[in-house]
Amino acid sequence: MLCRMHLAPFASSSLASQLGTVRTLWPHAETIFAELQQEMERARQFMSSFEQLLSSQVATAMERAPSANAAPTQGSGEGFSICQDVKNFVPEQLSVKVVGRKVVLVGQKETQSTDEKGSFSYKYEVLKREWDVPEEVDAEALTCSLSKEGQLRIEAPRLALPAAPERSVPIQVTPAAPHPGAASED
């Protein structure tokens, strides 16, 4: 490929007069930049449509997934029940506390190892989850159980509300309010 800069020293020589007009194989810069701009615009449009698709997928997934702060309950009126996967932790590494109207699960684990070459590794894992306990649940009666499969179940029953005695509720009669649009008589 010939470039005009490389041919510049020869332009004044007798060789240039013998060859006539010299043309390069290099394309014009304007056409290259125009093509690049078109490619960039197509890439921007693709990225924009991809972002829209991704945001709609995330919104759909968020609608389907339960909220991490919401307290999942099983059955209607059964109370409070949470099941959390903790198979990477042993019971001694877990703690469950009730703080006000929140249940706080904390798991902490440290692992240290040295290989045959003398390399040392240290790993510290922390699991922390919080759930709000509904007002109608007895937080004082909270229980925890850990299955062999590593599933921690946290449960609390509904508060036993005393039965209200039967009573009559008086009906109060209020004067009729004028209807809007009704003509008033003067």
Query: 116 lies in a domain?
Result: yes
Residues 6+ apart with CB under 8 A from 146: 86, 91, 94, 152, 153
Write the CATH number for 115.
Answer: 2.60.40.790
Give the pLDDT confidence score for residue 22 in this predicted structure.
59
37 or 162, which is more confident?
Answer: 37
Query: 59 lies in a domain?
Result: no
CB 81 within 8 A of CB 151: no
Give how many domains the chain has, as a whole number: 1
Query: 27 lies in a domain?
Result: no
Query: 146 lies in a domain?
Result: yes
Mean pLDDT of the chain: 76
Segment of 52-56, 149-153, 164-168, 182-186 carrying the highest mean pLDDT: 149-153
pLDDT over 90 for what percent of the chain? 19
Pairing of strands 80-85, 143-146: unpaired
Torsional sign, CA 43, 49, 55, 61: negative
Is the predicted pLDDT of residue 106 greater than 90, yes or no? yes
Band of pLDDT at residue 182, cut at 50, 70 and 90: low
152 lies in which domain range? 80-156
181 or 1, which is more confident?
Answer: 181
| Six-digit token string for 151 | 């599933």
Coil vs helix vs strand at 78? coil
Query: 112 lies in a domain?
Result: yes
DSSP summary character for residue 137: B
